Chains A and B, each alone.
Chain A
Amino acid sequence: MTDLDPNLAIEIRGLRKTFQDPERGTVEAVKGVDLSCRRGEIYGLLGPNGAGKTTTLRMLASILAPTSGSAYLDGVDVAANPLEVRRRMGFLSTSTGLYPRLTARETLRYFGKLHGMHGDTLEARIEELLVAFEMESIADGRTESFSTGQKQKVSIARAVLHDPKVLILDEPTTGLDILAASTMVDFIDSSRARGTCVLFSTHIMSEAERLCDRIGIIYQGRLLAEGTQAELCEQTGEKFLDGVFMSLVRAADKSAGTPG
């Protein structure tokens, strides 16, 4: 593609996804989403459960194939070259778990090797991350004995091990306790300084308000609005993000209710 903006880390055009359900027939989970993130930008995808956030992120991460539309990550076409896309991104979701019988260090080594890293480079990188996340003392303990917060740190370290250009985080704080959640929030915040683009989904307004350079509101498989918090407030005439969200959702429900 020649018309790709080199400043964009993520570009999604008209992405759609339909599932076949035995009872309900064809279910359209994502109904044409356009979205773009600049390099070094933190972008929050805000929406309720079942809005299509996870499916959109999974399509971008090359896990699911889109029914139609296209997605580019760091200039690479996701559909054409999924393995290259996976080399350039880090992915983490709430449901992400760890192998209980591997140690933290072994976990990092395993995923590093799957990324084609090896030898001294890999060991040095693992050491660097263990220090950065203050995990030296637990590095050789099995992850089954870890607390939620410690597990979270291993998962984050695993996602950034290969120094990805883009981080895709699917509801990274859902289900975490306050301490673990704040580790996560701090980490996202620190990515800005490292120049990594972060695209993350959430249904927690305060998180989006605090972290995001730009926010996209997704509802029933459609991106309703996109922009900085200020832009969104101005567009809807609301003061806070939850007001913005509610007014957009109400408008969407209304237009869906009136046929034609």
Chain B
Amino acid sequence: MSRHSKTIKPWKLVFHTELLGLLRDRRAMFAGLILPALLYPFMFLGQGWLGKIAEETLNTQEVHVAMDLSAASPQVQGRLAELLALQIPIQVDSLPPGSGASIDALVQEATPDAWQRERELAISLIGTDGHLVLYAVPDPVVADRTLFRLHFDGARETSREARKRTNRALSQLSDELRSEFMSEQFGGDPAQAFVSEDLDLASEEDLSGALLGKLLPLIAVLVLLSGGSYAALAAFAGERESGTLETLLVQPVESIAIVRGKFLAVLSTSLATLVLNTMSLLLCVALGLGDLPGGGGAAATPQALRVLLGGLILIPVCLFLVSVLCLVCGKARSFREGQHYILPLSLVMLLPAAVAMQPDVQLDAFLACIPIAGPALAFREAMVGNLSFLPGFLAVFSTLLYSTLVLRRVGGLLDAEKILGSEAGDEELKQRRVQSRSALTWGWAGVLSVYLVGGLLQSVHPIGGLAATLWLLLPFLTWACVRRTAERSGESLPVALGLRLPAIHHLVGALLAAAALARFATVWIAWQQKVMPLPSSITSAGLPTQFTELSPLLMFLALALSPGICEELFFRGAVLSGLKRDLKAWKVVAWQALLFGAVHASIYRFAPTALIGGLAAIITLRSRSLFPAMLLHITYNGVLVLGQQTLPFFVKDSPDLLPSEAPPAMTLEEVLNLPWVPWLAIPALVLFAIPRRR
């Protein structure tokens, strides 16, 4: 046998076969690889050309204006009519004198009914195909001034255009009148003594570099994931689904060689997609299609050296993304399951890449070490020739480090013990998996309906909406979610929800934990305020005024007792009861924290609410009852809501108190700030360490 027909390395065999399989799937190839590359020209064209075409069409559209200028001075009347006639194409009709005054009367009335009549009158004056009514009235505020009113229809493009042209004529008139006045008074306008002109020092290469630097990281993440996800799903989840995995694992080949071949196939596919897309993007920029807002009209490719440096920075990112992709797809048992993971994964990965799009974020050593965000920022700097060594090095080095860590996990993906060991289970295991997944789906459905339905209800009526969300929407969701779980496991609804008597010491533990938690939350919010200050719109409106006007008791009912009961019933009752059928405890807690953080729909409240969610889940799992979590939640919310209430048992220790004066009572908030409060966490821990007796 000749030397050249020597056996091929196993990873190469696997690699070739994977690629062959992918290349033969023409539809997937086209959709994942080629289509995105073809879309760029259209994307840019769409932004540039279509916008221009729309504008031009609008410019040639004739607008109809009906006017009554009888209240203005004859000089203004004549000049405005001339100026309006110049805003071609335009048709100006004169209305009988007095029509303006009759609409004005309705405007002054300012009632909904008058508004309706005002509308009808305007339409009758101008006709249904007219676009704008212009009239002059004496200004009610400043004497001897004319007020021009423009009645237009904001929902119609042409009517808005009519407004634009009329305003243009009005501003020309105002300019003319001013310069007339100026030349009368000063013999010329002092403001005309200078003019300004701006000159851009950046070369065309700089501009296109800046454009690419901002866009490419985001596009790279998107494209790597879209191009790689199909390959990764086919290589890992597809292998399981088609039943070839077991066969592959009995071949006389180390499983790591198989993983290596598969990983390289996914990496190649991703890179091929990226290269195709980048080329298409570069071509678009070179052809001058990249006329994006803020990008300038950059019609040149950036310097080759910068592109090279940028490429060097992006390679570890590709490695990292593809290894994460393989890890995620490798965990999926089927194609469909894998596809469910792709969207959340893409969102998580896009978030840090979007950082590079923010102009005010500056690359420093800390940011450089954040996966994806670091290299994305480094890439942006490199493309404008602004990258310094240390952050650049850190970005590349940290990404390589993360990739290595992920790749180690990827290496163990085809561990037969894990894959086949868990599959050795029976119908019951499968049932439990279904229950967990359905609970998770209900969890997210709950979050979404609270956003949508609850948000809508509360926008109509804050207190009633909140009550309806808590006492109608959530109980319904609870019932819908737990019904199936209970049915499948043959439990009654209360049992499935965990509504059983708790151990007394767990209730006491929950009470102590709530106090410690409330203290922690105040410290956290104070810290967060420094790092991520609340926008002014939120600070004052933490609670709608309707709530702050309530009596303490009602406030407690609305904001502590009701959420404590209803939210716990849904999240720690129904959802948790399903989740724990299949998932390990830490995963249940993690999902609970994520769901509960998400349902509060505010990045500023995410950390504290996620913490409560996670903690309540731990307590529920530990005590095997829902009541301690309810107590924790009610107490926690209660303490924060009733912070200004005074407590009779706690008094202020004030040195300048006269002996005859009774010491003033402390508010709940002040009690919470006493030094011993955080230490309550310790007895709480001890109490929860004691198990519940059977």
Encode contact with A along B20-48: 1 for CB under 8 Å, 0 otherwise.
Answer: 11001100000000000000000000000
Which of B6, B242, B247, B421 is close to A118, meaning CB atoms less than 8 Å apart? B6
In the complex, per-residue mask of A80-123: 1 if CB is within 8 Å of any chain B CB, else 0: 00011011010111011111111000100011011111110000
Interface membership of A21, Cβ < 8 A:
yes
Within 8 Å of chain B (Cβ to Cβ): is A55?
A: yes
Q: Are B8 and A113 in contact (CB under 8 A)?
A: yes
Asked if B17 CB lies within 8 Å of chain A CBs, one says yes
The reply to whether the CB of B244 lies closer than 8 angstroms to some CB of chain A is yes
Q: Mark A34-55, 1 if CB is under 8 A from B, else 0.
A: 0000000000000001100011
Q: Which of B66-74, B216-224, B250-258, B319-327 contacts A (4 or more CB under 8 A)?
A: B250-258
Q: Which 3 A-B pairs have the closest CB atoms?
A: A97-B243, A119-B5, A86-B252
Residues of B at the A interface (CB closer than 8 Å) are 1, 5-8, 10, 13, 17, 20-21, 24-25, 242-244, 246-247, 249-254, 416-417, 420-422, 424-426, 429, 432, 581-584
Query: Separation in Å of the A245 CB from the closest CB of chain B?
Result: 20
Q: Is A259 located at the chain interface by the 8 A CB criterion?
A: no
Instruction: Determine how close the nearest CB of chain A comes to the CB of B231; give it in whole angstroms.
Output: 13
Given contacts A64-B417, A99-B21, whether A113 and B13 have CB atoms under 8 Å apart is yes
Task: Quote the shortest CB–CB distance from B340 to chain A (angstroms).
Answer: 21
Q: Which residues of A contact B254 (CB under 8 A)?
A: 83
* Cα of A116 to Cα of B420 in the assembled complex, Å: 26
When the two chains form the complex, which single residue of A84, A92, A118 contacts B252, counting CB atoms closer than 8 Å?
Answer: A84
Q: Are B250 and A62 in contact (CB under 8 A)?
A: yes
Question: A97-B244, A115-B252 are contacts. A102–B17 as well, Cβ < 8 Å?
Answer: yes
The chain B residue with its CB closest to the CB of A55 is: B424
CA of A5 to CA of B432, assembled, Å: 46
**Cβ-based interface call for A158 (8 A):** yes
Given A87-B252, A113-B8, CB of A58 within 8 Å of CB of B420: yes
User: A98 near B244 (CB under 8 angstroms)?
Assistant: yes
- Contact of A101 with B252 in the complex, beta carbons under 8 Å: no
A257 within 8 A of B: no
**For the complex, what is the distance from the CA of A114 to the CA of B582, rounded to whole Å?**
37
Bound complex: CA A211 to CA B250 (Å) = 25
Kindly supply a per-residue 1/0 record for chain A positions 55-77, scoring 1 wherever the CB is within 8 Å of any chain B CB and 0 otherwise. Answer: 10010011111000000000000
Complex contact A63–B249 (CB within 8 A): yes
Whether A86 contacts B251 in the complex (CB less than 8 A), given A65-B417, A101-B24, comes out as yes
Chain A 120-138 interface 0/1 with B at a Cβ cutoff of 8 Å (1 = within): 0000000000000000000
Using CB atoms and an 8 Å cutoff, list the residues of chain A in contact with chain B.
Answer: 19, 21-23, 29, 49-50, 54-55, 58, 61-65, 83-84, 86-87, 89, 91-93, 95-102, 106, 110-111, 113-119, 142, 158
Across the interface, do B5 and A116 meet the contact criterion of CB distance under 8 Å? no
- Complex Cα–Cα for A95 and B432 (A): 22
Given contacts A97-B242, A110-B13, contact A102 B20 (CB under 8 A): yes
Nearest CB in chain A to that of B1: its residue: A119
What chain B residues lie within 8 Å of A61 (beta carbons)? 250
Complex-state Cα separation, A102 to B242, whole angstroms: 13
Q: Pull 30 A–B residue pairs with CB atoms less than 8 Å apart, ordered by A.
A: A19-B422, A21-B425, A22-B583, A29-B424, A61-B250, A63-B246, A63-B416, A64-B417, A86-B250, A86-B251, A87-B252, A91-B247, A91-B250, A92-B247, A93-B246, A95-B243, A97-B244, A99-B17, A99-B242, A101-B21, A102-B20, A110-B13, A113-B13, A114-B251, A114-B252, A116-B7, A118-B5, A119-B1, A119-B5, A158-B247
User: How far is A118 from B20 in the complex, measured between Cα atoms in Å?
Assistant: 19
Residue of A with least CB distance to B253: A114
Q: In the complex the two chains form, is B252's CB within 8 Å of A23's CB?
A: no
Q: How far is the CA of A210 from the CA of B521 in the complex (A)?
A: 74
Q: Which residue of A lies closest to B587 (CB)?
A: A22
When distances are taken between beta carbons in the complex, the residues of chain A under 8 Å from B429 are 21
| Docked pose: A10 CA to B242 CA in angstroms | 30
Residues of B within 8 A of A93 (CB): 246
CB distance from A118 to the nearest CB of B (A): 5
Contacts of A54 in B (CB 8 A): 424
Closest to A159 in B: B247
**A168 to B: closest C-beta gap in Å:** 8
Provide the residues of chain B in CB contact with A98, threshold 8 Å: 242, 244
Bound complex: CA of A117 vs CA of B6, how far in Å?
Answer: 9
Specify which chain A residues have a CB less than 8 angstroms from the CB of B417 in the assembled complex.
64-65
**A12 CB, min distance to chain B CBs, angstroms:** 17
CB closest chain-B residue, reference A119? B5
